[in-house]
Amino acid sequence: MALPALPSSGVAFRRVLAHFPGELSLAFAYGSGVFRQAGRGWDQKNTMLDLVFTVDDPVAWHTQNLKKNWSHYSFLKMLGPKFITSVQNNYGAGVYYNPLIMCDGRVIKYGVISTSILIEDLLNWNNLYIAGRLQKPVKIVVMNENVILRSALDKNLKSAVTAAFLMLPESFSEEDLFMEIAGLSYSDKSPEGQFTQLMTLPKTLQQRINHIMDPPGKNRDVEETLLQLAHDPDCGHVVRLGLSAIVRPSSIRQSTKGIFTAGMKKSVVYSSLKLHKMWKGWMRKAP
């Protein structure tokens, strides 16, 4: 569980952002570098800060960032900002990461994503990579007046609430409710109510569910499948399977892309840090 970030952290974020081109439609920070983690000590200064930058024109942004921060990039910088943008947009989950960067006295990792690609993911859950991150606690550092982006951010949260409710059991505790649907309350599940909720889910999740439920050769349309699922006691389980079918491939593709965008050396170091963090977690849980 994440606890609130320190009140002074906004100043630190602004100092970090001063090192980058300013044309950002959205910038947010997340993870243990921002939020105190329950049940463990917290050294914010020595914890890597994770950031995501959303930009309207990735080619222009990378052009400026290469001038300011040439050393942040792997060997792909030699191929120029258009090639970097092509890798960013067309492979993995649409994000280009530069990890293990020393900036303003601390280690950071930052990802860059196109505004249009983020909006598509927020609305349709194409891969749920950044959209999924924005369903968890984040610290918004910059947000411009892009009405379409703001609306998509709201729709993503509403979709998350709907999906979470479908996955809750018939009865659940208050803690379950707050954890699953961020404090919003609903009552009395019914097939009719579940069908209404299923029909409001992002289209990519609906398509994955249809693929899971549709027997070979049947070729039912999505609405027919969702109507059947609404009457199925395993509705929540199928929704979970659909989510897994979205998240798992995009995570694998994004991780593979990281070998090229970060460079082999940084990838090995970053993976080692992740394994060390996992090992410490196991040791804490050991009897």
Element (H, E) at 141: strand 138-143
Answer whether residue 22 is part of any domain.
Answer: yes
Answer whether residue 166 is part of any domain.
Answer: no
What does the pLDDT look like over 185-216, one tens digit per residue?
233 756 666 777 787 788 898 988 998 887 66
What does the pLDDT look like over 166-183, one tens digit per residue?
877 777 775 775 566 443
Answer whether residue 41 is part of any domain.
Answer: yes
What is the bridge-based pairing of β-strands 106-114 and 49-55?
parallel
Q: Which residue has the tokens 């840090």?
A: 273
**pLDDT at residue number 279:** 52
C-alpha dist (Å) from residue 29 to 63, 111, 227: 23, 10, 39
Answer whether residue 198 is part of any domain.
Answer: no
Answer whether residue 176 is part of any domain.
Answer: no
Answer whether residue 257 is part of any domain.
Answer: no
Number of domains in the chain: 1
Asked if the model's pLDDT at residue 91 lies above 60, the reply is: yes
Is 206:198 a contact under the CB 8 Å cutoff?
Answer: yes
Is 168:180 a contact under the CB 8 Å cutoff?
Answer: yes
Is 266:98 a contact under the CB 8 Å cutoff?
Answer: no
> Which of left, alpha, beta for 237 (phi over 0: left; psi -120 to 50: alpha)?
alpha
Answer whether residue 285 is part of any domain.
Answer: no
**pLDDT, greater one: 101 or 169:** 101
CATH at residue 137: 3.30.460
Instruction: With cut-offs at 50, 70 and 90, classify the pLDDT of residue 236.
Output: confident
| pTM assigned to the model | 0.71
Q: Which residue has the tokens 């060390």?
A: 276
